Chains A and B, each alone.
Chain A
Amino acid sequence: MSEVDPGLEPRPWLDALAEATAELSTTTLELDGCTILGPRNSDGDLSGGYIALIGDKCSVQIAVAASPETCRTIAGRLFEMNAEESQELPEGDVADAIGEVVNIVAGGVKSRMASYDATLQLGLPFVIEGVIESTKRLRTEYLEADLGGGMKVVLVAIVDTRHAANAAA
Chain B
Amino acid sequence: MKILIVDDSKVMRSIVKRTLRQAGFGSHEVVEAGNGAEGLERVAEHTPDLVLCDWNMPEMNGIEMLQELRGAGNEVKFGFVTSEGTAEMHQVAMDAGALFLITKPFTADDFEEKLSPVLAAA
Which A residues fall within an 8 A CB radius of B? 23-24, 27-28, 75, 78-80, 93, 96-97, 99-100, 103-104, 106-108, 110-111, 114, 122, 124
Which of A78, A79, A104, A114 is B83 in contact with, Cβ under 8 Å? Answer: A104
Could you jot down 30 A-B contacts, CB within 8 Å? A23-B105, A24-B105, A27-B106, A27-B107, A28-B104, A28-B106, A78-B11, A78-B14, A79-B14, A80-B14, A80-B18, A93-B11, A96-B10, A99-B9, A100-B9, A103-B9, A103-B83, A104-B83, A104-B104, A104-B105, A107-B82, A107-B83, A107-B85, A111-B85, A111-B86, A114-B86, A122-B56, A122-B83, A122-B84, A124-B56
Q: Let me know if B15 is at the binding interface, CB within 8 A.
A: yes
How many B residues, CB 8 Å from partner?
18
Q: How far is the CA of A122 from the CA of B61 in the complex (A)?
A: 14
**Does more than half of chain A's interface fall in helix, strand or loop, or is it mixed?**
helix
Which residues of chain B are within 8 angstroms of A122 by Cβ–Cβ distance? 56, 83-84
A106 to B9, CA, bound (A): 16
A104-B105, A111-B86, A122-B56 are known contacts; what are 8 more A-B pairs with Cβ within 8 Å? A23-B105, A28-B105, A75-B11, A96-B9, A97-B11, A99-B9, A100-B15, A103-B9
Instruction: Across the interface, name the chain A residue whose C-beta is closest to B11.
Output: A97
| Complex interface residues of chain B between 8 and 31 (CB less than 8 A to chain A) | 9-12, 14-15, 18
CA distance A104 to B85 in the complex (A): 11
Bound-state CA distance A78–B85 (Å) is 22
Residue numbers in B under 8 Å from A106 (CB-CB) = 83
Which of B12, B14, B56, B105 counts the most chain A CB atoms within 10 A? B105
Are A27 and B105 touching (Cβ within 8 A)?
A: yes
Partner of A93, one of B10, B86, B103, B105: B10
Pair B11/A96 contact, Cβ less than 8 Å: yes
B15 and A28 contacting across the interface, CB-CB below 8 Å: yes
How far is it, in angstroms, between the C-alpha of A100 and the C-alpha of B82 when the chains are bound? 11
Identify the 4 closest CB pairs spanning chains A and B, nearest first.
Answer: A107-B83, A27-B105, A97-B11, A28-B105
- The listed residue with most A CB atoms (<10 A of its CB), out of B10, B82, B83, B106, is B83
**Chain A, Cβ-Cβ closest to B14:** A79
Q: Give bound CA distance, A57 to B85, whole Å.
A: 21
Q: Which residues of A contact B106 (CB under 8 A)?
A: 27-28
In the complex, which residue of chain B has the Cβ closest to the Cβ of A89? B11
If the complex has contacts A104-B83, A106-B83, A122-B83, are A78 and B15 also in contact, measured as CB distance less than 8 A?
A: yes
Q: Across the interface, name the chain B residue whose C-beta is closest to A121.
A: B84
Q: Is the CB of A107 within 8 A of B103?
A: yes
**Which B residues are in CB contact (< 8 Å) with A104?**
83, 104-105
